[in-house]
């Protein structure tokens, strides 16, 4: 049986409050070594922003698409 990841990727996006860089789970960031579909949870806690390298993962703000609600 081929069990795929239940709950798949939410496709959530997270934005750097410093420079505005957005990490998109569906796109990942191949330049940073994150393949498309890499969930935010798999990004290392000590990862720094790919753009400004000043902000860490913990500083990122989850973007709300506003689709629901």
Binding site for Zn ion (CB under 5 A): 16, 18-19, 21, 49, 51-52, 55
Task: Report in angstroms the alpha-carbon separations of 5 from 14, 24, 25.
Answer: 21, 18, 14
Least distance (Å) from Zn ion to the CB of residue 12? 17
| Residue-wise DSSP of 39-68 | -GGGS-TTPBPTTTS-SBGGG-EEE---S-
Least distance (Å) from Zn ion to the CB of residue 65? 20
Least distance (Å) from Zn ion to the CB of residue 49? 3
Beta carbon nearer to Zn ion, 31 or 68 = 31
């Amino acid at each position: 049986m081929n069990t795929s990841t239940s709950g798949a990727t939410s496709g959530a996006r997270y934005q750097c409050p410093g420079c505005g860089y957005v990490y998109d789970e569906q796109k990942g960031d191949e330049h940073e070594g994150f393949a498309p579909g890499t969930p935010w949870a798999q990004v290392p806690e000590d990862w720094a922003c790919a753009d400004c390298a000043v902000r860490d993962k913990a500083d990122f703000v989850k973007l709300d698409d506003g689709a629901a609600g």
